[in-house]
């Protein structure tokens, strides 16, 4: 999960993930929509692939990338669990500091 959060910490990689969520694409197609080079997109895709967030399929000479949802689901589950713990702590704090009636 550390790799997932590290990969998604970069705003360009989040933009690439948003693009791939709409439709699978090649690095060239993604680069044509962003203010970065194809080589930069390829590096971002490699980080996303290493984190398990995207997979590549050969299409002739090109590789078409699509998102892999499982790692995001694990990250969302972890965040929900941590969020629930904080909700409980904040509720306890509110009960403690609220004036008694």
Give residue 101's pLDDT band: very low, low, confident or very high (50, 70, 90): low
Burial state string for 69-82 with b = 16 or more CB within 10 A and e = fewer than 16: eebbeebeeeeeee
User: What number is the average pLDDT over the span 67-88?
Assistant: 87
Does residue 48 surpass a pLDDT of 80?
yes
Q: What is the pTM of this model?
A: 0.79
Rounded to the nearest integer, the mean pLDDT of the chain is: 92
Query: Beta-carbon neighbour count of residue 101 at 10 Å?
Result: 3
43 compared with 76, residue with greater pLDDT: 43
Domains of the chain, CATH where assigned:
2-97 (1.10.10.10)
Q: Give the lowest-confidence range in 2-6, 13-17, 80-84.
A: 80-84
Contact 27, 43 (CB under 8 A): no
């Amino acid at each position: 999960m550390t790799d997932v959060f590290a990969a998604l910490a970069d705003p360009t990689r989040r933009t690439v993930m948003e693009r791939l969520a709409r439709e699978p694409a090649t690095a060239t197609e993604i680069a044509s929509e962003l203010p970065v080079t194809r080589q930069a997109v390829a590096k971002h895709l490699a980080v996303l692939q290493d984190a398990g967030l995207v997979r590549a399929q050969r299409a002739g000479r090109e590789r078409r990338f699509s998102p892999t949802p499982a790692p995001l689901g694990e990250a969302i589950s972890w965040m929900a669990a941590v969020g629930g713990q904080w909700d409980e702590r904040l509720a306890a704090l509110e009960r403690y500091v609220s004036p008694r009636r």
